[in-house]
Amino acid sequence: MDGRPSSKRRRLNDDGDASPLTTSSRPVIDEHIQTLEETPPKKPRKKKPRKVLQEGTVTDSRSALAKTGVLYLSRIPPRLTPQKIRQLLAPFGSPILRIFLAPESNEEYARRTKAGGSKKRRFTEGWIEFEDKKVAKRVAESLNAERMGAKKGDFLYDDLWCLKYLPKFKWHHLTEQIGTQFCCEINGLCSLSECFEGGKVKE
């Protein structure tokens, strides 16, 4: 050798020593491809069997739905909450399944707070579902136009119940109408109160 540096490219290995660069890295690529080929394919997920309702379960559900009764509450005093309503109606015995109170609109809230009113949200009307429609009728007949509060110190003492029993009205009628009202509000057609007439769904 004449002492001149070799024309071959050199690179440093892991130990820092110079070693000639290989002309191809094909063995490394082949090894990677072989590793991918050896990877086992993913097992398909097992589909969970669908639960089929038995005929007796469906019949019991329909009969329970037929026994329910819904009351319409046309006025909601300030600070009256669903929890308070349950507490006031608990002595009648029949379980209360669901309560829905319609909140006031943003325009009403802005107008009331601008005039110096409370910043707490209020409700305008509500619906109460009883498990037994006979109890619902009795509640409407006995409490309508009566005082909510039993004692003078109660904040509901000067407020009256405004209850009405809705015959042939079920909870799904309410949920369907709320969905319709939501679409109407988006398009600026009507409000929740305008979608109902005396608590009933407009035909």
pLDDT at 161: 95
Query: Rounded distance, CA 127 to CA 69, Å?
Result: 10
Quote the pLDDT of residue 49. 72
All structural domains of the chain with their residue ranges: 65-169
CA angle at 97 for the pair 134 and 153, rounded to the nearest 5° = 85
Secondary structure in 3-state letters for 55-105: HHHHHHHHHHHHHCEEEEECCCCCCCCHHHHHHHHHHHCCCEEEEEEEECC
Q: What is the architecture of the domain spanning 65-169?
A: 2-Layer Sandwich (3.30)
Strand locations in the chain (E): 10-12, 18-20, 69-73, 96-103, 123-130, 163-166, 196-197, 200-201
Q: What is the largest CA-CA distance in the chain?
A: 119
Nearest to 142 by CA among 166, 170, 163, 169: 163
Confidence at residue 93, expressed as pLDDT on a 0 to 100 scale: 87
- Give the pLDDT score at 147: 93
Q: What's the average pLDDT block by block, 10 residues per block, for the chain (203 residues)? A: 50 49 51 55 72 67 89 93 94 93 90 90 94 95 92 88 94 84 60 55 51
The phi, psi pair for 122, rounded to 5°, reads -115, 165
35 Cβ neighbours under 8 A, 6+ residues apart: none
Residues 6+ apart with CB under 8 A from 168: none
Q: What pLDDT score does 13 carry?
A: 47
Instruction: Give the pLDDT confidence score for residue 63 in this predicted structure.
Output: 86
| Backbone φ/ψ region at 68: left (φ over 0), alpha (ψ -120 to 50), beta | beta
pLDDT of residue 162: 95
